[in-house]
Chain A
């Protein structure tokens, strides 16, 4: 059973987003996503300063099984990326919601977070 923390918001493409309350948010992939991918061997992330539209591909996550695109849940500007994942991509498998985070975004519109699924709706999606 995949973990779906109640304090996060979710995209149908299996990314999570955690608003910081100051117009920024942290983004990663869900426990369900990491579990489906299996051993993650490589994470390709954008450069700091990149601007992303909602639903735009921001990177690639590779596992032994497959390479999959990563989609930005909302529009924003990349203010930080998790460089730990360069050398230790398996961190996403081990701790998808904390140490395995991928991006920090400055949100183009803080209200856009409300377009995302809550934990109950995401839990139902993957149910």
Chain B
């Protein structure tokens, strides 16, 4: 997947206006099966896996004992004792080593399926119409964060109503050997619906505009899900101990030292990752985690990790000698129409 096919800004706008096709086959897939699959996964991740039923998808961080994040992932329940994880490409080796280690105490089999699966994401207001034109599956019956198994353009797929853009759409998991045929069918069907090929650059600006975290930026081994504002994914009271629970409970009880905030600037100069964030007296109170230009707002947007005590005070950054004020925003930065 390239950073861009044509233009990051134009590809971004195409997804908000019509649809984009992302080849995200680099993502990792892991099968988790066995009599203790549920108990194991509920121990492994912070969200409550017992809420799943066949056809339901769950987003969750997976933490270290200290509350730092190993990775964030999607858990798919296909059947009792049969789950499937989607993990970040850059973390596949680390995650598998971690998951295998934790699985030793449970009756489960963990299998890396990353090389077997390709993954195409069709995202945007016209995505449903495009995919529906290629499948007999009744897509209006697949709700947000639900999935079904069926064929799209004759290719067997896990049809998942999920995405990383803030738009409605689908992620289609399928056999790697079918990827070219499926992509060609989607491009052909999408032509009448404004579909464009979209790259990693637009994927990043779309997710930031939607306020979604990216591993390595808003969540890391040093930034817990609570610090990152993902408290809704940490179910301290789910009735099972899980890795990181004690540390996260302490963080919730005592308050986090730092906080992830989102900002816009009213200026086109991009505030890039690692730029120091300055408090009212000019002292450094944090650093930028992600930054880009919102192609929709036409101004710089981003996220920063700041000392909690300073998070509600005026914040600024110095860009090549110009002091630019950060206006804190509760994301999403733009109105999203996802189902």
Contact = CB atoms under 8 A, between A and B. Distances in A.
Interface of A: 38-39, 41-42, 44, 60, 62, 64-65, 67, 89-90, 93
Given A39-B7, A39-B8, A41-B270, 8 more contacts: A38-B8, A44-B320, A62-B270, A64-B205, A65-B3, A65-B201, A90-B9, A93-B7
A89 B268 CA distance: 10
B275 to A, nearest CB: 11
A67 B272 contact: yes
Contact of B270 (A38, A42, A90, A93): A42
B292 interface: yes
A64 B320 contact: no
A62 B7 CA distance: 14
Contact of A41 (B10, B268, B320): B268
10 contacts: A39-B7, A39-B9, A41-B270, A42-B268, A42-B269, A42-B293, A44-B320, A65-B3, A65-B8, A89-B268
A64 B8 contact: yes
Interface in B1-42: 3-4, 7-10
Interface string B227-246: 00000000000000000000
A64 B293 contact: yes
Interface residues of B, number: 15
A93 B10 CA distance: 13
Nearest to A59: B320
A62 B299 CA distance: 13
Nearest to B320: A60
A109 to B, nearest CB: 29
Contacts of B201: 38, 64-65
B269 A62 contact: yes
Contacts of B272: 67
Nearest to B7: A39
Interface in B281-302: 292-293
Nearest to B9: A39
Most chain B CB atoms below 10 A, which of A64, A89, A90:
A64
A60 B270 CA distance: 12
A60 B322 CA distance: 13
B268 A64 contact: no
A17 to B, nearest CB: 24
Residue with the greatest number of chain B CB neighbours at <10 A, chosen from A38, A89, A90 = A38
Nearest to A64: B8
Given A38-B4, A41-B293, A44-B320, A64 B269 contact: no
Contacts of A60: 320
Nearest to B272: A67
A60 B272 CA distance: 15
A44 B270 CA distance: 12
A89 B292 CA distance: 15
Interface string B175-216: 000000000000000000000000001000100000000000
Given A60-B320, A64-B201, A38 B268 contact: no
Nearest to B4: A38
A108 B233 CA distance: 64
B7 A38 contact: yes
Contact of A67 (B4, B7, B270): B270
A67 B292 CA distance: 12
A67 B270 CA distance: 9
Nearest to B204: A64
A10 B10 CA distance: 30
